[in-house]
Every structure is written in C-alpha cells, then in structure tokens.
Structure 1
Amino acid sequence: MDTEAARQFWNGRYDRPDYLFGEAPNAFLVSQSARLMPGLGALAIADGEGRNGVWLAERGLSVTTTDIAPRAVEKALALAARRGVSLDAQVTDLEHWDWPEAAFDVIVAIFIQFAPPAARDRLFARMKAAVRPGGLILMQGYRPEQIAYGTGGPRQVENLYTEALLRHAFAGYDILHLELHDSDVSEGDGHAGRSALIDLVARRP
C-alpha cells in the first residue's frame, strides 16, 4: 500500500466520533510505568488517535507522537487538550520521515504491524538509531497465533512477531523483558477479545 492509499485507509478508519482503539493507554505500556520518568523524551510511533502519547505526557514526559492519518492526529490533539497536556503531534509516513538520530529516551511502538517484512526491517533500524544510548524501546505486537483469534491486527502472518524475530532484530540490545502471552484486550472496537501478544523492552547499550 503506497503512502496516499495508506493515509486514506487510516483516515477512513479514524473518521468517527469515538476513538477506534479507545482513549485509555495500552495495558503493556502502563505496566512499564516504573521505567517512564518525568522529563524523559518519548516518541510514540504510529500512535493513532494519541491514547498512548497523551498518557505519556500526563506522566510528565516530553512526547512526540506520529501517525500517517491527519484525522488521527487531529483527534490526538483534541484528546491532549481535554487532558490538559501538550504533544508534538506530526502527520507523517514513517517510511519517509526524517528520523532524528539518538534523540529520544523512550520509543513506544504499540501494534505497528502495518509494515511488511522489508519495511519493518527499515522501521526497526530507524527506531534503534533514534533512541539514545541507554534509552528504551517498548513494543507490543501480535504473534502469528493471533490470526486464529481474529480480534484485531493484520491478517498477513508475515507482519506478525515471533520471539526469534524480535531477538534477531534487537541483537546487541539489552533485552530487559520479552514475554509471550495470550490475554484479553479491550481497546475500543479495534482490539477486543482474547489476543496472542508479545511484549518487548529493549535497552540500547
């Protein structure tokens, strides 16, 4: 899917009065609260309507949030305004974004599995370059078993994550947490029900 087609697709999904994935932050992200200190600089990539970026800002982090869909970014800014926080919210295609080098203490990547393998490899490489030495990458995604559940995520098995894939992708990083689990997810209409998940916390040396 090219940039314009992707933008139109996601704009269409987000063009609704409520929030497709809800307004509450992702449960895995919340579980990592102890690592997320006020004053840290965070990047939330493909953050949709801003639920995770807004929550990070509420915790006192300085947050850049991105999404390809203008409608999503508009709703992220509205959510931030209602919660009394500010975001650097950018409409961008991550494939063509001018990624900053070693600029963030934390990069949050929650359900970014729109990327097929070649694009995913580039995305992971750019994430690894954008986090500062000692900084963290926090990621949650679906495992291949998710296709049988059908409760969210892509239908392309090659877009899904395995333990081996993430260990290879973040070789050379300190893997602080890597867990495979099946859990009930309740994130708006977009992610609802039993789900096959994998969680990663990796620290750049």
Structure 2
Amino acid sequence: MREFWDQRYAAPEYAYGTTPNRFLTTAAAVLPAHADVLLPGDGEGRNGVWLTQQGHRVLSVDQSQTGLDKARHLAEQQGVTIDTLCADLASWQPPPAAFDALVLIFLHLPPAQRHDIHRRLLGALRPGGRLILEGFERGHFGLPGGGPRDIDWLFTTEDLRRDFGGLEDLRIEPVETVLDEGPFHHGAARVIRCTGRMPVAR
C-alpha cells in the first residue's frame, strides 16, 4: 500500500486538494484551544495544516513519506509548522492518553485490521478527548465521488459502533453529499460521520 500512496502523491498537484475537509471545519469547533491532535492518514496535509492554523498542535501520521513531504511544503506555504511521522498504522503504537483529539478523515483500513487499529488509536485519547471521523459509507459503493473500490473497506454504522462504542455522546450519521476535494474526491458521495468523547475517569 505504501507504493500506491507514494505514486498517488508523486504528482505536483494535491490529490485531495489543499483545503480542509468541510465536516472537519465544523466538527472541530468542540476542541479546546491549543489542543493536541492526532491525525492518522493525513496524506498531503490539508487537514493537519488547517488545524495548525487554528492554533492546535498536530501530529500528522502517514505511511507515505512522499505525502508527508508535501504536507510540510503546504504548511510552509501557509506560514505554519506541522509535526509529521512516517509510520505503518498496522504496527505503530501511539503514545497512550497523549491527545485531546483523534481525527480520522477518509482513513479506510484493511477490514481484517480495522478494529484493532481503531482501538489502538483510540487509546491515544486523554479522558474527555474527542473523536472526529468522516469516511465513505457502504452505500457509497458505485458512486462517482471516489474512495476504495472494495466494498468491504467502506464503513457501516455497525462497524463504527463496534469500534468506538465505548465513547460518550457517540453520534453516527450517514449523509448524502457532493465532494469537491481535489481530483480523487469529486462528485456525488455517501459518507458516514462519527463523533464522540472519551469518558472522563471518576
């Protein structure tokens, strides 16, 4: 998979544009000021750069160094600095309880590994930390808006409830929308949005 993403990000243009995901820009309103944000699968950095511009401290993680190089270039263009880490999420262990937010934007994982990776990433949240997720819902299969070509890689409400069911205020919402996020996310789409909060220990 690393080779696939290196090839996709090798072009001079940004595969998913340079503006942030629209849902993220609204969902991030719940974050505390100067939050520590973990952003796995940030690719070329459009979301990590935007969060940094809002005053947050971001760690952008991706398996493609090519993508992360473009992320740092985008950050420099925008006058900010982001921290990046090249790592394979199948084996990477994030520091426990180190982040105020976990942001997963169109991070689609191999079905056999998805639950374990999600649970490991969730462990990086501090008590009260927030999850913000948007991805393609199973009903998106066959629509033109982009995304994985294997239906098993797409999300169902049951998938997300199983992976993140321990969160408080868990909200899972399928939405029909039109994407305009660079050449690879463009057109009619059916997405699923998920937010929640890590319980605060009593």
| TM-score relative to the length of structure 1 | 0.93
Unaligned runs of 5+ in 2: none
Q: Secondary structure in 1 aligned to 2:92? A: coil
The answer as to 2:159 corresponding to 1:165 is yes
Partner of residue 137 from structure 1, selected from 131, 138, 161: 131
1:123 aligned to 2:117?
A: yes
State the 4+ residue runs in structure 1 displaced beyond 6 angstroms.
none
Q: How does 1:102-117 map to 2 (within 5 A)?
A: 102-113=97-108, 115-117=109-111
Specify which of 87, 95, 105 is matched with residue 90 of structure 2.
95
- Counterpart of 1:44 in 2: which secondary structure? strand
Q: Which residue of 1 aligns with 2:182?
A: 188
Offset at 1:136? 0.7
Residues 145 and 178, structure 2, Cα contact 8 Å, conserved in 1: no
| Unmatched segments (≥5 aa) in structure 1 | 1-5
How many Å separate the matches in 2 of 1:21 and 1:35?
25
Name the Cα RMSD after superposition: 1.1
- Matches of 1:84 and 1:176 in 2, distance apart? 35
Corresponding residue of 2:79: 84
Q: How many pairs does the alignment contain? A: 199
Matched residues, percent identical? Answer: 38
Is 1:152 matched with 2:135? no
Structure 2 distance, partners of 1:169, 1:75, is: 31
Q: Which amino acid aligns with 2:162?
A: H
Residue identity in the other structure for 1:161:
F
Aligned to 2:193: 199
